Amino acid sequence: MGVVIPLEDSKNKQASVKPLVDLTKADMERVNQLILSKAGSDVQMIPEVANHLISSGGKRLRPMLTLASASMFGFTGDAHVKLATSVEFMHTATLLHDDVVDESDLRRGKSTARMIWGNQASVLVGDFLLGQAFRMMVDVGSLEALDVLSTAASVIAEGEVLQLSVAKNMETTEDDYLSVIRAKTAALFAAAAEVGPIVAKTDKASRNALKSYGMNLGLAFQLVDDVLDYGGKAADLGKNVGDDFREGKITLPVILSYRRGTADERSFWREAIEGGKSDDQNLEKALGLITRYGGLSDTIARAQHYGTIARDALAPLPQSPWKAALLEVIDFCIERVS
């Protein structure tokens, strides 16, 4: 079920996150220390649940964005480390709540926290991490950064509810879908990248450049994620292929295949997604239709579109290893799928 797409526009055949990892290495060690310390509690279940997810091998792309977007303007200090940790906690809290909402049993190849400790602990430890995230932001003391991140928290939750509203509705348009992923995923990427220039006290144009970079990178990232759900291998991804299909989640590969299909095929989609007939046989059929109508390759083309916007957003900034690393991350996010 692997998908190979020729990346014709890519100048970088083997794009990697490594330059960004290397540049942020020292600060990420401080972030990791702070994560351990702020996920600590005398209430034993809190670090247990939090560390289960925290140690499960996520890439920590979002906190690296915050670190890089402050450091590229010469910022040194600890505000960016605290904000990067806040961003990661906001993300972790969202994952804990998402697993409850989606009734997922697997994330990144491991049992979800809710399967081990129950829905109750997942909801409440998520709330705790969100509270700790806000305390760290307050500790930094920048009302501008607080404004950006608290707005992101509202927007993310709003996006998740919107996703719930459009779930199992085959009439969802590409625009509806974009509204969902802009809110539930891209808003945090944008906020993570915007708070760097804020603490670095740089000019408004640079702040907007990083915000736009983060937003469009986030859109590309989520589009590719939604392709991977139909095209990757569960072991590689640490999740089950076809999870979105089984949950009746409407993502772009499905929207495109539905709209481009025949009346009979549209009936199939409605029965599968709205009617819940999502067994393995129907998943096979869905994958066939998605392939026939270019649902994956055209979703990747959309991702490349947003990737290009992210690249252009950074164009006016002076060349630097930081900028080069951030640009390479765009290709890395899109090439994950090949």
* Footprint on this chain of a second copy (rule: CB under 8 A): 41, 43-46, 97, 100-101, 119-121, 123-125, 127-128, 130-132, 134-135, 137-138, 141, 143, 146-147, 150-151, 153-158, 160-162, 164-165
In this complex, which beta carbon is closest to a second copy, that of residue 139 or of residue 284? Answer: 139
In this complex, which beta carbon is closest to a second copy, that of residue 28 or of residue 195? Answer: 195
Around 232, how many Cα atoms within 13 Å sit in the side-chain half-sphere?
21
In this complex, which beta carbon is closest to a second copy, that of residue 149 or of residue 252? Answer: 149
d(CA 78, CA 71): 11
d(CA 325, CA 23): 8
Smallest distance, Å, CB 73 to a second copy?
23
In this complex, which beta carbon is closest to a second copy, that of residue 248 or of residue 294? Answer: 248
In this complex, which beta carbon is closest to a second copy, that of residue 3 or of residue 157? Answer: 157
Q: Facing residues of 107 across strands?
A: 110
Smallest distance, Å, CB 253 to a second copy?
23
In angstroms, the Cα distances linking 240 to 93, 231, 296 are 21, 10, 17
CB 42 within 8 A of CB 28: no
Amino acid at 77: G
In this complex, which beta carbon is closest to a second copy, that of residue 136 or of residue 337? Answer: 136
Smallest distance, Å, CB 172 to a second copy?
14
In this complex, which beta carbon is closest to a second copy, that of residue 41 or of residue 291? Answer: 41
d(CA 156, CA 57): 23
Question: Alpha-carbon dihedral of residues 149, 153, 158, 161, nearest 10 degrees?
Answer: 150
Smallest distance, Å, CB 47 to a second copy?
11
Amino acid at 275: G
Smallest distance, Å, CB 139 to a second copy?
8
Smallest distance, Å, CB 27 to a second copy?
23
Smallest distance, Å, CB 225 to a second copy?
19
Smallest distance, Å, CB 296 to a second copy?
28
Q: How big is the CA angle at 241 (ends 57 and 282), to the nearest 5 degrees?
A: 165
In this complex, which beta carbon is closest to a second copy, that of residue 115 or of residue 123? Answer: 123
In this complex, which beta carbon is closest to a second copy, that of residue 109 or of residue 276? Answer: 276
d(CA 116, CA 122): 10
Based on C-alpha coordinates, what's the Rg of the chain? 20
Smallest distance, Å, CB 83 to a second copy?
14
d(CA 332, CA 325): 10
Around 191, how many Cα atoms within 13 Å sit in the side-chain half-sphere?
29
d(CA 146, CA 143): 5
d(CA 270, CA 71): 49
Q: Using DSSP, how many helices (H) and how many strands (E) does the chain show?
A: 17, 2
**Is the torsion defined by CA of 275, 280, 282, 283 positive or negative?**
positive
